[in-house]
């Protein structure tokens, strides 16, 4: 069935492109467009992410070198850097954001039962942001400091499968805690937040929405002890308390009870204090939940290392958001391919194999079946010594 089709074309079969067209129509992406459509733009940017192209000129050169194959890869319009630059500048980034949400829904269904280190049936999310530094003269709309610009990717990560469920791209001047105002809270779900998100007026919204949060307490927290429960100190838990805030403003912003748990991490010699509005789980489970928050940091590290988001193909806000959403689409696409094909390789290995075989006309599974994860250390070393010690 796949004979004569490139790996890139087979990869696009995992995308529900019939749902891409309504996104384009909703925002008039192809209005008065005669040749280079939104789908052509999307395919160019997906190709650029899969093969880590550095610039528009780089994308144009690589695709034009494979001109006879482009039609069968899905391209219908002429690929040029001027067409792509204009499309990135003017076509609404929400087209690609909405299509990414379609893929996210598919991926979450596939990874619904994926373990993440804590035995819970409830949905668990980690919310955090990462900053990408930019040049102030090229990106004045994202001014972060006096001589510096930056963009932030605020991400709500589903820990089952490390799937980003909500992503907000803002200028670096937007404080992280402000993004709590736009989160759509899910009743019964757990939200893992860093200490920078401690704003008790906003945290009280979680309680009102019947959602749970786990965060770290600041050192200057003012409270009085309501009750204290016995703990197993051998597990690392030092105290499990019910408290009420006594600060002049915090008591007004969060009038309900809070749970305060002190935990000692012997491995790293760290003393951590957690705050949560959940009173039913064991204190050690709360500590393990917060430890699982590290997955969002690993997610940021992964996309920065393996996707092209630290440099941008355009300087406008629309171009930056377009590239960011297409990069996330590629990440989710690779996760879907891994699950649907039952691959044992990591997401990074899958991405590297796709990069190396993108223009080949072989079944997509062939590249993965030929992959050997055997360590090079197992091979006989034939490297000669520089110095003869005899």
pTM over 0.85: yes
Residue ranges of the alpha helices (H) in 19-161?
A: 20-26, 38-51, 56-64, 67-70, 81-90, 94-110
Instruction: Give the CA distances from residue 310 to residues 39, 46, 80, 313, 354, in Å, rounded to whole numbers and listed in that order.
Output: 24, 16, 23, 10, 21
Given this model, what pLDDT does residue 202 score? 95
Question: Which pLDDT score, from 0 to 100, does residue 303 have?
Answer: 93
Paired tokens of 118: 């804590």
CA-to-CA distance for 42 and 322, rounded, in angstroms? 9
Q: How many residues does the chain have?
A: 390
What confidence score (pLDDT) does residue 353 get?
A: 92
Q: Indicate the pairing of strand 143-145 with strand 212-216.
A: unpaired
Angle between helices 94-110 and 38-51 (to 10 degrees): 60
C-beta neighbour count of 45 within 10 angstroms: 25
Question: In the prediction, which pLDDT does 244 show?
Answer: 95
pLDDT at 384: 45
What pLDDT, on the 0 to 100 scale, is given for residue 33? Answer: 85
Distances (CA, A) of 87 to 49, 81, 141: 17, 10, 19
Query: CA 309 to CA 327: how far, in whole Å?
Result: 7
**Which pLDDT score, from 0 to 100, does residue 35 have?**
86
pLDDT tens-digit series, residues 286-300: 999 999 999 999 999
Q: What pLDDT does 10 receive?
A: 93
Q: Is 117 helix (H, G, I), strand (E, B) or coil?
A: coil
Q: Which residues contact 182 (CB under 8 A, 6 or more apart)?
A: 168
pLDDT for position 375: 42
Which pLDDT score is estimated for 22? 94
317's CB contacts (< 8 A; 6+ apart) are: 141, 142
pLDDT of the chain, 390 residues: tens digit per residue: 455 789 999 999 999 999 999 999 999 999 888 889 999 999 999 999 999 999 999 999 999 998 888 888 889 888 899 999 999 999 999 999 999 999 999 999 999 989 888 888 899 999 999 999 999 899 999 888 888 899 999 999 999 999 999 999 998 889 999 999 999 999 999 999 999 999 999 999 999 999 999 999 998 899 999 999 999 989 999 999 999 999 889 999 999 999 999 999 888 889 999 999 999 999 999 999 999 999 999 999 999 999 998 889 999 999 999 999 999 999 999 999 999 999 999 999 999 999 999 999 889 988 888 765 544 444 444 544 444 444
Structure tokens at 131: 């900053």
By DSSP bridging, strand 258-265 and strand 237-245 are antiparallel
Q: What is the pLDDT of residue 380?
A: 46
Provide CB contacts within 8 A for 285, sequence distance 6+: 118, 120
């Amino acid at each position: 069935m796949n004979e004569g089709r490139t790996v890139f074309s087979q990869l696009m079969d995992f995308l529900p492109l019939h749902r891409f067209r309504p996104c384009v129509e909703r925002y008039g992406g192809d209005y008065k467009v005669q040749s280079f459509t939104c789908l052509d733009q999307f395919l160019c940017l997906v190709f650029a992410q899969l093969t880590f192209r550095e610039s528009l000129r780089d994308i144009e050169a690589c695709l034009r070198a494979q001109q006879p194959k482009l039609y069968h890869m899905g391209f219908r319009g002429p690929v040029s850097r001027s067409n792509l630059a204009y499309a990135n500048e003017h076509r609404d980034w929400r087209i690609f954001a909405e299509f990414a949400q379609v893929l996210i829904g598919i991926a979450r269904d596939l990874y619904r039962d994926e373990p993440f280190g804590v035995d819970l049936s409830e949905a668990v999310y980690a919310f955090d942001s990462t900053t990408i530094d930019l040049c102030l003269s090229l990106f004045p709309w994202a001014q972060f400091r006096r001589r510096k610009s930056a963009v932030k990717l605020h991400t709500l990560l589903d820990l089952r499968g490390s799937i980003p469920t909500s992503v907000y791209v803002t200028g670096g001047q937007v404080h992280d805690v402000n993004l709590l105002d736009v989160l759509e809270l899910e009743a019964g779900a757990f939200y893992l937040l860093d200490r920078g998100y401690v704003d008790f007026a906003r945290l009280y919204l979680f309680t009102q929405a019947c959602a749970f949060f786990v965060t770290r307490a600041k050192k200057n927290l003012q409270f009085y002890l309501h009750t204290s429960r016995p703990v197993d100190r051998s597990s690392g838990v030092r105290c499990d308390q019910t408290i009420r805030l006594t600060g002049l403003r915090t008591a007004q912003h969060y009038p309900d009870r809070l749970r305060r748990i002190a935990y000692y991490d012997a491995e790293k010699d760290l003393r951590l204090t957690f705050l949560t509005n959940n009173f039913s789980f064991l204190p050690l489970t709360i500590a393990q939940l917060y430890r699982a928050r590290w997955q969002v940091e690993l997610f940021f590290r992964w996309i920065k290392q393996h996707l092209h988001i630290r440099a941008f193909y355009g300087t406008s806000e629309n171009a930056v958001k377009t590239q960011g959403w297409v990069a996330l689409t590629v990440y989710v696409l690779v996760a879907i391919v891994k699950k649907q094909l039952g691959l044992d390789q990591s997401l990074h290995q899958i991405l590297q194999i796709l990069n190396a075989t993108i223009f080949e006309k072989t079944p997509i599974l062939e590249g993965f079946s030929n992959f050997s994860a055997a360590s090079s250390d197992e091979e006989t070393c034939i490297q000669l010594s520089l110095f003869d010690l005899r």
